[in-house]
Each structure stands twice: as structure tokens, then as C-alpha cells.
Copies of this chain bind each other. A is one copy, B any other.
Amino acid sequence: MRFDFTPREAPKPAKMTLTLIALDRPTADFAAVFTRNALPGAPIVIGRRRLDEPTLGAIIVNNKVSNVCAPGGVEASEKICAETARLLELKPGQILPSSTGVIGWGLPVEAMIGALPSAVSTLTGGSILPAAEGIVTTDLYPKIRRADLGGGSIVGIAKGAGMIEPNMATMLVYVLTDLAVPRAELRAMLTRAVNATFNTISVDSDTSTSDTVALVSSGRVPGVDHAAFEQALTTVCRDLAEDVVRNGEGVRHVIRVQVQHAPTAELARALGKAIVNAPLFKCAVAGNDPNVGRLVQAIGKHVGAQAPSTDLSHLRLTLGGIEIFANGVFQLNPAKETALVAHLREAELYASALPKDGVFTAPISYPPHERCVEIVADLGHGTASATVLGGDLTHEYVSENADYRS
């Protein structure tokens, strides 16, 4: 496989980057899952068709403009595919297109076609880092995860920082492997891996119109154990999903909620999502304020509205390993409050700095640690469980999104 990118230029959403991932040889073994947003982008519409094609040869990605519900969007995207195919000596149906960026704008087709020859001619077989860098928009840093097994490897890259509450997929994720796994097994494994990883995260409860996870196998390394492959694939997906949250727009604390002993897996996941999506709790975490009442509010809201028959009498909550709620009442005292504040401070990625000209900005660098705000919600009434990751709600998020397009 070869990768390409054109250099990004600051500021972040200013210039479109075309990223081309080309296989040395087209493969029949590819899989993809897409957003369930009911108003999807044109590349999603095309991508769903591509799943019926016999082989895939390349993936062409642009940022800046997501090509969602733009007039003539499907035709524009197919035109890019056709030109990419011509240059790579492939058929248009062998090209998977992806777009991310502003919803509502149309692709600058002629300019993109003009840039394609240079993208093709500079394809390189080296590091995947340029591709990981090329696909970002508001991401603070590129996201790459890798697992080695059976004499080959699985390498994945992801972009996504806002509009992140994936439903059957996440923003843009490409997972590449040289391990030979047939198409049918590949697709079943990808669906399960995505469901257990990307579908359990939420940065801001918004579900993108462009979510895509694609998995491509070149098939060069035969004989891999399928169970081991699926485990490694799930690990790569889980690590990338956590990267997406840790790099979420304005995220200064990653929040990990483990819901245990729930009556169903659906309820466990929904409760985890209810907690990481509760704006007041997210703001409290941003302020290193262990306002656990807002945590209880989020659980009670979801159960009251969506699952009113649920028994909460055995509910037990811990934050940073410290029991805060049991037997129907809070279990708090001043020493615990002090310890809870310390836990929140330890999980903070960056301190919020005073804004320049009223605009808060987050530092652009890799995260200093992988710690989370750790919450366990034990319902004491069932065998199902789920782990959900989310982030806090900060001034940096508001600054980034109150003025993203300008």
C-alpha cells in the first residue's frame, strides 16, 4: 500500500487536503461501515454501493468540505473517483471516496481534479503518518494505532474531534492489514469491533453525516488465526476510539464510565452515554468540580424518560474509585470531596488558559497522559455491562464551534 498527502497549512480549516491511500493490487477483502445519520453525505451513498463491487483499489479522502446534501453531490464525488481511477489505471467502482468538513458546501471538483496528478505521482510506500496527518480537520494531532500478529500487522488511522457520537461508525477511520481474511469474515468482524468501540464514544452527542470506518486487507500474509485477528482488530479500534475522544474538540478530561450489573447491554450503554452527554456534569468536570449531583441527575433523567421500570434501589456509584452513592443516598464527606477534586485534577489533560481576544484555544500537541475520570455505575441488578468514553464541555469547545467556519 502507498499513501499520499499534500502538506497542511495553518490555520486548521483553511485549506483542503487530498489524501490518497492506494493498494498495490486491488483486493476483494474489504469492509466498511457508515453513519446511520438519515441525511448522509454523498460519499456515504457511494460507499454503500461500493460494498457490492468485486474489488477495491484505492481510497480518496478530502477534508474541509463534507459534500453532504449539496446539489449534485453524488455526481461530483463520482467524478473525483473516475479521475482518480483513470490516473491509477483502475475502474471508478474500485475507488472509495470520503469527505469531511463543513456540511452544506459543494466540492470544488475542478480544483480537486487538478490536484490529483500530483497526489498520485507522490504516492509513497513509507509511513502512514502523512495520511493520518492529511485527513484531519479540527483534530489536535494525527491518530495511528497498530497491532502486530501472525507475521503481519493491522494499522489504523482516524480523524474526528467534533460531531462525535458515532452510530455504527465514526468520523473517518481507515484500517489496513496485510493479513489475509476473506471478505465475509472481515465484514462481520468489523461490524462487531465497531459496535464495541467507536459506537461507545461521544464527544458532543452529535452524529456526523460522514462517519466511515473502512478495513482493507491486502491478503499478503496467509494463515492468521481469525479469533486472534478479531481481538487485535478490536484493540486497534478501541485505541483509535479513545484517541478520538482524547483529542475531542475542547476536551480537557476524558471521562470513562463503566456500567456494571445492568439488566441489558442496551441500557448499560445508554446510561453510560447519558452520563457523558449531560452538559452540566461535563461542565463540572471541566471545572474540576466533583458535582456528583449532576451525575445522579443524568442517570435519573435517562431511566425516568426511557426505562422507568428499572430498579435503581441497588445503584452504587464510584468516582475515581471513591464511593459516592449507595443505598439510595449520597455517601459524601469533606475528606472524600478533597480526594474527588484530586482525582479530577490528575485526569486533566491541559489547564485552560486565559483566552486571547476572547477566543479560547487548546494546545496543539500530543496528550500528556492517558488517564481518565473514572466512573463506575453498578446497578446491582443484572449481568450486562458497557464501557463508554466521553469528554468534558469547555470554553475551548465553545470557542472552536461558535466560529468554526469563519
Q: Tell me the A residues contacting B by CB distance below 8 Å.
A: 35-40, 66, 68-71, 73, 102-105, 162-163, 165, 167, 204-209, 277-280, 283-284, 286-287, 289, 291-294, 296-305, 308, 310, 312, 325, 328-330, 332, 352, 354-355, 358, 360, 393-395, 397-406
Which of B40, B283, B401 is close to A283, meaning CB atoms less than 8 Å apart?
Answer: B401
**Complex partner residue of A403 from B35, B207, B289, CB under 8 angstroms:** B289
A39 touching B296 by the CB < 8 A rule?
yes
Task: State whether A279 touches B205 (Cβ < 8 A).
Answer: yes
B206 engages A300 (CB within 8 Å): no
The minimal Cβ–Cβ distance linking A12 to chain B, given in whole angstroms, is 16
Contact between chains at A330 and B104 (CB < 8 Å): yes
Cβ contact within 8 Å between B332 and A398: no
Would you list the 10 A-B pairs with minimal beta carbon distance, nearest first? A103-B293, A287-B402, A39-B300, A283-B401, A38-B303, A207-B301, A104-B293, A38-B304, A37-B300, A36-B304
Residue in A287, A293, A303, A360 whose Cβ sees the most chain B Cβ within 10 Å: A293
Chain A: interface secondary structure?
A: loop
**B289 and A406 contacting across the interface, CB-CB below 8 Å:** yes
Given A104-B330, A280-B206, A312-B38, answer yes or no on A68-B296 (Cβ-Cβ < 8 Å): yes
Chain B proximity of A63: nearest CB distance (Å): 14
Q: Which residues of B contact A299 (CB under 8 A)?
A: 38-39
Q: Can you list 30 A-B pairs, Cβ within 8 angstroms, ordered by A?
A: A38-B312, A39-B296, A39-B297, A39-B303, A39-B304, A66-B293, A68-B293, A68-B296, A69-B296, A69-B330, A103-B291, A103-B297, A104-B293, A162-B280, A163-B297, A167-B301, A204-B280, A205-B277, A205-B278, A206-B301, A207-B301, A279-B279, A279-B397, A286-B402, A289-B404, A289-B406, A291-B405, A355-B358, A394-B402, A395-B395
Taking the closest CB of chain B, its distance from the CB of A92, in whole angstroms, is 22
User: Complex Cα distance A279/B302, Å?
Assistant: 18
Known: A297-B209, A330-B69. A395 touches B399 (CB 8 A): yes
